[in-house]
A and B are shown apart, each in its own frame.
Chain A
Amino acid sequence: MSRRVGTFAKQLVLVGATGVAIFPVYVMLSAAFKSQADFLESPFAPPFEPSLRAFQEAVNERFPTWFLNSVILTTGSVALTLAVASLAAWGFARWEFRGRDTLLGMLVSLMVVPPVVLLVPLFVFGVKLGWISTFRLVILIYVGLMLPFSIYLLANFFRTIPRSLIEAAIVDGASSWSVFRRIVLPLSGAPLVTLAVVNLLWVWNELLIALVFLQDNEKKTLMVGITGFQSRFSLDVPVIMAGLSIATLPIVVLYLFGQRFFVRGLVSGAVKGE
Chain B
Amino acid sequence: MAEVTFSSVGKVYGDGTRAVSALDLEVQDGEFMVLVGPSGCGKTTALRMVAGLEAISEGQIRIGETVVNDLDPADRDVAMVFQNYALYPHMSIYDNIAFGLKMRRVRKSEIDRRVREIAQVLGLHEMLERRPRQLSGGQRQRVAMGRAIVRDPSVFLMDEPLSNLDAKLRVQMRAEVSRIQHELGATTIYVTHDQVEAMTMGDRVAVLRKGELQQIDDPEELYDAPTNLFVGSFIGSPAMNLIQARLERRGGALVAHLGTQALELSTETAAERPALGAYVGRAIALGLRPEHLREPGAARPGEPTLEGTVTVSESLGSERLVHVEIPATPVVSEEVLEVVRDTDAALVDELESDARERRAIVLARFDTSVRPRPGERIAVSVAVRKAHFFDLDTGSAIYS
Contacts and interface: CB of A to CB of B under 8 A. Distances in A.
B80 A171 contact: yes
A171 B89 contact: no
B147 A164 contact: no
B51 interface: yes
Contacts of A169: 88, 99, 103
Contacts of B89: 187, 274
B103 A172 contact: yes
Contacts of B223: none
Given A173-B100, A178-B103, A274-B133, A167 B88 contact: no
Nearest to B91: A186
Contact of B90 (A168, A170, A173, A187): A187
A167 B74 contact: no
A182 B88 CA distance: 10
A167 B151 CA distance: 16
B188 to A, nearest CB: 15
A235 interface: no
A10 to B, nearest CB: 35
A99 interface: no
Contacts of B104: 173
Nearest to A164: B86
Nearest to A179: B103
Interface string B132-161: 110000000000000100010000000000
B84 interface: yes
Contacts of B133: 274
A190 to B, nearest CB: 12
A162 interface: yes
B12 interface: no
B253 interface: no
Interface string B80-110: 1011101011100000000110011000000
B78 interface: yes
Given A165-B86, A165-B88, A170 B147 contact: no
Interface residues of A, number: 18
Nearest to A183: B88
B79 interface: yes
Nearest to B132: A274
B74 A168 contact: no
A174 interface: yes
Contact of A167 (B53, B100, B103, B147): B53
A172 B100 contact: yes
Contacts of A172: 74, 79, 99-100, 103, 147, 151
Contacts of A174: 74, 99, 103
Contacts of B99: 169, 172, 174, 182
Contacts of B74: 170-175
A165 B88 CA distance: 7
Nearest to A188: B90
B73 interface: yes
A162 B52 contact: no
Interface string A45-89: 000000000000000000000000000000000000000000000
A168 B73 contact: no
Interface string A152-169: 000000000010110111
Interface in B98-131: 99-100, 103-104
A76 B166 CA distance: 51
A168 B80 CA distance: 7
Interface in B236-267: none
B83 A164 contact: yes
A183 to B, nearest CB: 6
Most-contacted residue by chain B among A168, A171, A187 (CB, 10 A): A171
A116 B52 CA distance: 50
Contacts of A182: 99
User: Lowest 9 CB-CB distances: which A-B pairs, in order?
Assistant: A173-B103, A172-B100, A168-B86, A164-B86, A173-B74, A164-B82, A186-B90, A171-B80, A171-B73
20 contacts: A162-B86, A164-B83, A165-B86, A167-B51, A167-B80, A167-B82, A168-B80, A169-B99, A170-B53, A170-B74, A171-B78, A172-B74, A172-B100, A172-B103, A172-B147, A173-B103, A174-B99, A174-B103, A175-B74, A274-B89
Given A173-B73, A173-B104, A174-B103, 6 more contacts: A169-B88, A170-B52, A171-B51, A171-B74, A171-B78, A187-B89
